[in-house]
Structure 1
Amino acid sequence: MTSLTGRAPRPAVHLGENDTGHPEPLHSHIVHRAHAAGLAGAGAFRGVEGRGASSRSHASRRPSLSEDLPAAMVVVDAEERVRAFLPQVGEVTGEGPATLEDCVTVRYGGRAPGPDRTDPEGKRSL
């Protein structure tokens, strides 16, 4: 079951996989901060290829040899919660490209909590 919950801003921060924020990778640090702030969703995504401000190419031609692939992280929640969280992102990222896109949020419901998610008919969902 889905229900449309409306428009919301979706920030996307473009990082390098090796960018750090405290003892962990920066993308992971931001996702953990978003979780601690109680936001509905946050995720980090590994890129295949990118070119950043340094003009250095970051590419995954041979994954075992790639050391600094591009990464992006996104946050999704209601507009007021996302905008309240943005200063925390700025604190840890400093300089770097970021976007704030308008999106339509869709909330998926009806899934049981926990690792064994089954619907009322006993079918396992992903």
Structure 2
Amino acid sequence: MHLPAQAERLRIFIGEADRHDGRLLSEVIVEEARKTGLAGATVLRGIMGYGANSRVHTSKILRLSEDMPLVIEVVDIPEKIETFLRTLDELVTEGLVTREPVEVMFYRHSGG
């Protein structure tokens, strides 16, 4: 797959414990991104954060949280991002989704 130099990045901010139909929402989002044919998706686990409800989630020993913040990043062409946003609208009931232009420097794989 080839990505043009000008693409877009989606950032999806959710909680680690968020679910969709009993499954982890992060897994559902990554699987849907793959089914849609997006170039890739990465799930990043935060060590601290808060969202719209202002409840702080932290990995500090004394306040161990089981609902750490997650960020899922997806980069692809604007048309594919636009299509995937419709899927996200159905999946994400709490969280934040952002979209921004990015410049792709490399997109490589080993071919194996």
Contact map agreement 1:13 1:72 (CA 8 A) in 2? yes
| Aligned 1:11-90 pairs, distance under 5 A | 11-62=10-61, 65-90=64-89
Q: Which runs of 4+ in 1 moved over 6 A?
A: none
TM-score normalised by length of structure 2: 0.86
Q: Percent identity?
A: 37
Q: Deviations over 1:93-117 (max 9, x none)?
A: 034322111111233336131xxxx
Contact map agreement 1:5 1:106 (CA 8 A) in 2? no
> Hey, what's the Cα distance between the residues in 1 that align with 2:110 and 2:65?
37
Tell me which protein shows more strand as a share of its residues: 1
Structure number with higher relative contact order (C-alpha < 8 Å, ≥ 6 residues apart): 2
Contact map agreement 1:4 1:106 (CA 8 A) in 2? no
| DSSP 3-state at the match of 2:66 | coil
Larger Rg: 1
Q: Residue in 2 aligned with 1:123?
A: none
User: Structure 2: 5+ residue runs without aligned partners?
Assistant: none
User: Structure 1: 5+ residue runs without aligned partners?
Assistant: 114-126
What value does the CA root-mean-square deviation take over the aligned residues? 2.2
